[in-house]
Amino acid sequence: MSTQLTSGAIKVLYDDNKDSPLYRDPVVQIINIKAVAVAGGTRYRVILSDGIHFMQAMLAASHTSIVEDQSLKRNSIICLKESVCNILQNRKILIVLNIEVVASDVESKIGAPVTLEGSTATSKPADIPQTPTPSKPASSFASSSGANMQLEASLTSIKNLNPYQSRWTIKARITQKSPIKTWHNARGDGKLFSVNFLDQSGEIKATAFNDQVDRLYNMLEEGKVYYISKARVTMAKKQFSTLNNEYELGLENGTEIEACGAESSIPQMVYSFVKIADIGKREKGDNVDIIGVLQNDLGTSEIIAKASGKPMKKRELTFVDDSNMSIRLTLWDADAESFDAPTGSVVAFKGARVGDFNGRTLSLGGSGSHKVNPDSPEAQRLQKWYAEKGASANFESFSSEMGSVTGESLATPRIKLQQVREENLGVGKPAYFSFRGTVVFVKSENPAYPGCPTCKKKVLMEENGWRCEKCQKTYPTPDYKYILTCSVEDSTSQIFLNGFDDIGLTLLNMDANRLIALKDSDSAAATLVFTKALYKTYNFKVRAKEEVYNDTSRIKYQALEATPIDFIKESKDMVESIEKLLA
Ligand SMILES: [Zn+2]
């Protein structure tokens, strides 16, 4: 048996000693495995060994299938990718959330492991009922200020909540409490509010409706710690939540909530900050936490919301960080009006939503929050960085428009294509550049897609027309929009550019609907439209972005603008740069 177990890992996991190098990805052996019936299915209780010690563990529901198909069995060796140490009925039990099977078929137990239970006292047999004498993470046992011993003994962590287990108690701090929202529709009136609960393991959103709003709204206070049990665990409605949790809680009539006194073991707020430069790698609609220095505040303005037709207040802010990028962030309504921080302040945002308007932007919705000058090492570090370097640095932005808004120089330098290739622009994070180039080829197959006349999304031909899934409507004719691919050269190199409708219009000088009709009626005339587009020169503004297809990555170049050459302006620019050279 060549596989080595991580000696000493079980002790580290038992003590919840996250600082130990053995805590990360230890390799352990399953020396016993037992099915346990729980509401909604079967779970497996196992004993994990590192060859020296063993401890009890419970496999998360997601592992049930690999036990049932025999990929995981007694004596299998696994790598623990993610686990949490919990206390259940006075015993420590490791909840195993994520594993990799290292060796499935192993003949026998490795070493002669002994139990850790009771090891803090003199080592007594594990089956004698014990008074709780856990070693490390249960400081809550000792500091009994306001702690309910009975509830403490049965605590589950938020990360381990699932719909299959009904008997649990969490101890958590309310990091955010929403105002009461009301609705009126055909089915009646109603009201709701929600809170976010936080413990060391994670966060979960909880919502109360109608009667429960009356019962709980005044009782639950932001910042305070509570014991919560008998709430319903359901799948999270991700569109209404910014938290990273598959589940959420419904606070119901039978839900028990008890305030817990001063409790410092529960963190105030947990952020997982993303550098501004890395927001380029996030998808539209993702939620991120960022911390940045406020560089610009354009104040509040009023817009009419497209969806509701109602006026909304908004405030546009620009933030920078030490990844040397800036990003625009929008606050709405109450947040927009109450935001009050001088430029140069460090602000932390929880749950800001990524948008792709002009590259990348952020928007703080109703379930996000912010804190000005938070008391954290990260904030101090950024403040110091800003004072020493940041205040005088130049920041790249995700879009040219944003650059002009904030008075920065445009982030799209005019360069040569050879430079685009040599500098691998777009690798790692999107890059924007401009160049002057000549169109040498335009792909004539599928130059346009049938779009929805209302929302521009692609529509599909059906029996009785063109169907838009987004609008849930069928239209007699689609509105064709260009998605053009063309090859463009300058004096140094060549690239393939993709362009949407406005680029197609500029290059082909014809509306996409007319061109598609022409292709059907007179293909020679349509071919001529493509031929005529060749050997014309434009100033292009391009976004270079790395995209991964089937595990290979390549850079995609999207033409954002194609401007015919203004010879007078170009000449003036040239004269200017010559004069600069001579000066
Ligand atoms: Zn549509």
300 with 240, same domain? no
13 with 69, same domain? yes
What pLDDT does 16 receive? 85
CA 542 – CA 412 distance, rounded (Å): 8
Q: What is the DSSP string of 277-318?
A: GGGGGSPTT-EEEEEEEEEEEEEEEEEE-TTT--EEEEEEEE
Q: How far is the CA of 285 from the centre of ligand 1 (A)?
A: 19
Q: How far is the CA of 288 from the centre of ligand 1 (A)?
A: 29
130 with 186, same domain? no
**Helix or strand or coil: residue 514?**
helix
- Residue ranges making up the domain that contains 524: 417-447+483-571
Q: How far is the CA of 573 from the centre of ligand 1 (A)?
A: 44
Around Cβ 251, how many Cβ atoms within 10 Å? 24
Q: How far, rounded to the nearest angstrom, does the alpha carbon of residue 164 sit from its chain's CA centroid?
A: 26
164 with 219, same domain? yes
Residue with tokens 């994520």: 98
Q: How far is the CA of 289 from the centre of ligand 1 (A)?
A: 32
Q: How far is the CA of 458 from the centre of ligand 1 (A)?
A: 8
Contact of 46 with 24, CB cutoff 8 Å = no
Q: How far is the CA of 306 from the centre of ligand 1 (A)?
A: 15
252 with 394, same domain? no
166 with 225, same domain? yes
CA 580 – CA 583 distance, rounded (Å): 5
Q: How far is the CA of 451 from the centre of ligand 1 (A)?
A: 8
What pLDDT does 358 receive? 65
Q: How far is the CA of 530 from the centre of ligand 1 (A)?
A: 29
Q: How far is the CA of 193 from the centre of ligand 1 (A)?
A: 32
31 with 127, same domain? yes
Q: How far is the CA of 472 from the centre of ligand 1 (A)?
A: 7
Q: In the listed set 260, 285, 300, which residue is the last one of a domain according to the structure?
A: 260
CATH of the domain at 305: 2.40.50.140
Q: Do the domain assignments include residue 302? A: yes
**Ion ligand 1, residue ranges at CB < 5 A:** 452, 454-455, 457, 468, 470-471
What pLDDT does 494 receive? 94
Q: How far is the CA of 459 from the centre of ligand 1 (A)?
A: 7
Q: How far is the CA of 42 from the centre of ligand 1 (A)?
A: 44
190 forms beta bridges with 183
Residue with tokens 């292709």: 519
Q: How far is the CA of 389 from the centre of ligand 1 (A)?
A: 48
Q: How far is the CA of 358 from the centre of ligand 1 (A)?
A: 22
CA 444 – CA 413 distance, rounded (Å): 31
Label the pairing between strands 448-451 and 479-482: antiparallel
Q: How far is the CA of 147 from the centre of ligand 1 (A)?
A: 55
The one-letter amino acid code at 41 reads: G
Encoded tokens for 411: 């982030």
Residue in 291, 329, 321 with CA at minimum distance from that of residue 396: 321
Q: Which tens digit of pLDDT belongs to each residue from 148-187?
A: 777 777 788 898 888 877 789 999 999 888 888 888 887 8
Q: Do the domain assignments include residue 422? A: yes
Q: How far is the CA of 480 from the centre of ligand 1 (A)?
A: 13
What pLDDT does 291 receive? 95
Q: In the listed set 102, 136, 170, which residue is the last one of a domain according to the structure?
A: 136
Query: What DSSP designation does 71 have?
Result: S
What pLDDT does 551 receive? 75
Q: Do the domain assignments include residue 461? A: no
CA 69 – CA 469 distance, rounded (Å): 39
Q: How far is the CA of 443 from the centre of ligand 1 (A)?
A: 27
**Helix or strand or coil: residue 198?**
strand
What pLDDT does 304 receive? 75
Contact of 46 with 34, CB cutoff 8 Å = yes
Q: Do the domain assignments include residue 550? A: yes
Q: Which residues of the chain have pLDDT under 50?
A: 1, 120-145, 400-411
Contact of 304 with 313, CB cutoff 8 Å = no
Q: How far is the CA of 449 from the centre of ligand 1 (A)?
A: 13
Residue in 85, 95, 105 with CA at minimum distance from that of residue 46: 95
Q: How far is the CA of 577 from the centre of ligand 1 (A)?
A: 48
Residue in 364, 343, 329, 330 with CA at minimum distance from that of residue 293: 343
Q: How far is the CA of 452 from the centre of ligand 1 (A)?
A: 5
Residue with tokens 């130049």: 394
CA 460 – CA 468 distance, rounded (Å): 7
What pLDDT does 153 receive? 72
Query: What DSSP designation does 508 have?
Result: H
What pLDDT does 90 receive? 67
Q: How far is the CA of 446 from the centre of ligand 1 (A)?
A: 21
Q: Do the domain assignments include residue 119? A: yes
Q: At 518, give phi and psi (nearest 5°).
A: -65, -35
pTM of the predicted protein model: 0.40
Q: How far is the CA of 328 from the centre of ligand 1 (A)?
A: 28
What pLDDT does 268 receive? 74
Q: What is the DSSP string of 107-136?
A: -S--S--EE-TTTTSS---TTS-------S
Q: How far is the CA of 461 from the centre of ligand 1 (A)?
A: 13
Q: How far is the CA of 470 from the centre of ligand 1 (A)?
A: 5
Q: Which tens digit of pLDDT belongs to each residue from 74-126?
A: 999 999 998 888 776 667 888 888 899 999 888 888 888 888 876 543 333 33
Q: How far is the CA of 454 from the centre of ligand 1 (A)?
A: 5
Q: How far is the CA of 517 from the centre of ligand 1 (A)?
A: 22
What pLDDT does 216 receive? 94
CA 302 – CA 307 distance, rounded (Å): 15
281 with 243, same domain? no
CA 49 – CA 11 distance, rounded (Å): 10
Q: Do the domain assignments include residue 102? A: yes
298 with 248, same domain? no
List the Cα angle 272/205/179 in 5-degree steps.
105
Q: How far is the CA of 58 from the centre of ligand 1 (A)?
A: 48
253 with 389, same domain? no
Q: How far is the CA of 456 from the centre of ligand 1 (A)?
A: 6
CA 121 – CA 394 distance, rounded (Å): 60
106 with 235, same domain? no
Beta-sheet strand order (sheet of 460-462)? 460-462, 465-468, 473-475
Q: How far is the CA of 455 from the centre of ligand 1 (A)?
A: 4
Q: How far is the CA of 445 from the centre of ligand 1 (A)?
A: 24
421 with 391, same domain? no
Q: How far is the CA of 304 from the centre of ligand 1 (A)?
A: 21
CA 169 – CA 155 distance, rounded (Å): 5
Q: How far is the CA of 245 from the centre of ligand 1 (A)?
A: 31
Residue with tokens 């719909």: 163
Contact of 451 with 511, CB cutoff 8 Å = no
HEC string of 335-372 equals HHHHCCCCCCCEEEEEEEEEECCCCCEEEEEEEEEEEE
Q: Do the domain assignments include residue 196? A: yes
Contact of 499 with 559, CB cutoff 8 Å = yes
Half-sphere exposure of 523 (CA within 13 A, CB side): 3
Q: How far is the CA of 141 from the centre of ligand 1 (A)?
A: 58
Q: How far is the CA of 305 from the centre of ligand 1 (A)?
A: 19
Q: Do the domain assignments include residue 337? A: yes
Contact of 204 with 243, CB cutoff 8 Å = yes
List the Cα angle 243/245/250 in 5-degree steps.
90
CA 196 – CA 207 distance, rounded (Å): 9
What pLDDT does 412 receive? 63
Q: How far is the CA of 136 from the centre of ligand 1 (A)?
A: 57
The b-or-e profile of 72-93 (16+ CB within 10 A means b, else e) is beebbbbebeebbbbbbebbbb
Q: How far is the CA of 450 from the centre of ligand 1 (A)?
A: 11
> First-to-last CA distance in the chain?
77
Domain count, the chain: 4
Q: What is the DSSP string of 420-483?
A: HHHTTTTSSS-EEEEEEEEEEEE--SS-EEEE-TTT--B-EEETTEEEETTTTEEESS-EEEE-
Q: In the listed set 202, 231, 260, which residue is the last one of a domain according to the structure?
A: 260
Beta-carbon contacts of residue 505 (< 8 Å; ≥ 6 apart): 482, 511, 512
Average pLDDT, the chain: 83
